[in-house]
Amino acid sequence: MSADAPGTSGKAEQRLCERLRLREHEEEVLLHAMHAGDAGRQAVVLSPRAPKDYEPPFSCASSEQFPWLPARVRIPEVGESPTRHADHAAGMYYVLDLSSCWEGSALSTLTQTPQRSLDLCAAPGGKTMLLAAQFELRDHTANEVNAARRGILRQNAELCGLPNTRITGLRPDQWGSSGELFDLVLVDAPCSGQSLLCKGIKNPGCLGSAAVQGNAKRQRGILLAAVRCVAPGGHLLYSTCTYAPEENERVMAYILRRVDGFTACEVPTLTAYQSALADFPAYRLLPHHGAGTGGFCCLLRRKGNNNII
């Protein structure tokens, strides 16, 4: 399951559970999910191309158990294969893990439609799709520095008919020094991707300290650039698909200490997921919650009045 020496992956798993302060039953569920690779659960985001009354051509589960679920997101019944339908090829909906929808649902606390928005690490496009499912895209930038991934992002944006969207490929530091301001910045950060194990995807070394610490350093750099792009009164949503506190709560604590003028926002629909590892509003999803492989999100607001027109 990792590139570590024989016998060390189990120790790394145990250290992770200890850092997460899991209860015994939570630890058992997480370890089972990491070994079984069966915790993934699909969701579909209805695209701007889909009519308002559109419903997917497959059976969907009730969303009542997920009060945080955005209105234009559906959960296929177990056994359904939404990517096999012609409507998927026609761009009527976008398929992603349900836990990604959970992360994006933090945007529900925004009371106004963002006038200018930036998805800083956008490929393959999931967070931009979730934004479009909750708000009208008015002046949106989907950025991806990797050329190959940027091509996939562009294809998905065109297929799903995203309006008022430009695709760019600048580095975070270039955005930070550009002088452009946005009233919403999304940072779905590159991470060690530990939750991929719960999908049955091999991810060698993801539990090791080198991967975790290396990603945490990169995330801090990305965020230090990203906060410079947030207009007064604007918001920044940070999310990852990994479990390590070093890449989640500790990164956000670092930013809140280092950068003046930002506060973490409470997200009422996610109160049940408040992280025990943070003394500020930050939310953590794990496989035992039954909503996919897991993730982390924290919404920041910059003090001041938003004057973007």
In the chain, which ranges are continuous DSSP H helix?
8-20, 24-36, 86-89, 98-104, 126-134, 147-159, 172-176, 209-226, 249-258
Q: Residue 101 catalytic?
A: no
The burial class, CB within 10 Å (0-12 / 13-18 / 19+), for 154 is middle
> Position of tokens 């699909």?
42
**Residue 139 · residue 207 · CB < 8 Å:** no
Q: Which of the residues 17, 160, 198, 241 is marked catalytic?
A: 241
Strand duo 182-188 + 165-168: pairing: unpaired
Closest of 96, 116, 81, 84 to residue 46, by C-alpha: 96
The helix (run of H) or strand (run of E) holding residue 167 is: strand 165-168
Catalytic residue IDs: 241
